[in-house]
Chain A
Amino acid sequence: MNALRKLLDQQKPLFEKGGKLEKFYYAFEAGETFLFTPNSTGGKHGTHIHDAIDLKRMMITVVIAMVPALLFGIYNVGHTHFLAVGELAEATFLDKILIGSIAVLPIVIVSYTAGGLVEVVFSIIRRHPINEGFLVSGMLIAIVMPPTLPLWQVALAAIFAVVIAKEVFGGTGMNVLNVAMTARAFLYFAYPGDMSGDVWYYLGDKQYADGFSGATPLGLAAEAVAVEGSQSVAATLAGFQDGLFTFWNMTVGLIPGSIGSTSFIAVMIGAIIIIATGVGSWKIILSGFIGVYAMGLILNLAGANEYMSMPPHYHFVMGGVAFGIVFMATDPVSAAHTEMGKWVYGFLIGVITVIIRVLNPAYPEGIMLAVLFMNVFAPLIDFYVVEANKKRRLQRATV
Chain B
Amino acid sequence: MEQAQKEKEALISGSEAIAVACKLADVDVITAYPIRPYDTVMQYVAKLVANGELDCEFIVAESEHSQFEIVKHASAAGARVFCGSSGVGWMYAFEALTVTPALRIPLVAMVGNRALDDPGAFGVEHNDALAVRDLGWLLVWVDTAQEALDTALIAYRVAEDRRVFLPCAIACDGAFLTHSQALVKIPPQEWVKAFLPPYNRGDLLLHPDNPITVAPQVNEDWLMELRKHNDEAMKRAKTVVIPEAYREFERIFNRSYGNPFFEEYQTDDADVVLVGMGTLSMPVKVAIRQMRREGKKVGFVRLRWFRPFPAEELAEVLGRYRAVGVIDRDYSFGAPHVSGVVATEVRAALYPHPSRPPVLGFICGLGGREVTVPDVRRMSDLLFEAAAGRAVPLTTWVGIRE
Check if A and B associate.
Answer: no
